[in-house]
A and B are shown apart, each in its own frame.
Chain A
């Protein structure tokens, strides 16, 4: 199974915006509007941030936004805050028999 590719780390200063990419193929990211993003603090359960490419669940800050172009999806965090320091990973539905494929994960550091 091929994972979706994410940068290992992204950093930014408080108040800045950062973008995390998630690159797949036409069998997953590019073929379906079923990309989701999750935030995970150490030792905690992953938290859903974005679903279906760009939708935010109730209660998730509007500082988090998602988009997609071709085989690459992106998560943008605007107005970066110290509490945003965490691991982030993407997921997509895939036409293969495993149904779901996940990103390699990105560690966000707030400088």
Chain B
């Protein structure tokens, strides 16, 4: 059974860079039939798609965040990571990683999410 687990600091200072990692077990992130996604949910608000990675393809980012985000991969650890720079309080959210099949538009596996608070 595929499992995804987010990890990273729960508190980030304003203007600094938020870094999160998603560890995937039970499947390989180098399988090019899957997209690996980052999604977030600010407190009391709806979910927002952040961006996606598919091995061997160009990353895809939410245009509203594109100038501040980067998704990278560590194949040796079967992990993919999110970096979000110049954070503000508006970036406080529960961050999820998820998987999507190539050619599909739903997310079939999710991590349980990690809360990141931006505060000094």
Contact = CB atoms under 8 A, between A and B. Distances in A.
B104 A51 contact: yes
**Size class of the A contact interface (CB-based, 8 Å):** 20 to 34
B63 A97 contact: yes
B107 A43 contact: no
Interface of B: 4, 39, 45-49, 60, 62-64, 96, 98, 104-113
A104 B106 contact: no
A64 to B, nearest CB: 14
B111 A48 contact: no
Contacts of B98: 46
Nearest to A37: B106
A46 B113 CA distance: 9
A100 B105 contact: yes
Contacts of A91: 47, 106-107
Interface of A: 1, 3-4, 32, 34, 36, 38, 43-48, 51-52, 57, 89, 91-93, 97-105
A69 B57 CA distance: 35
A1 B48 CA distance: 9
Given A44-B112, A45-B113, A46-B96, A103 B46 contact: yes
A36 to B, nearest CB: 4
Contacts of B45: 3
Contacts of B47: 89, 91, 102
Contact of B107 (A3, A36, A44, A104): A36
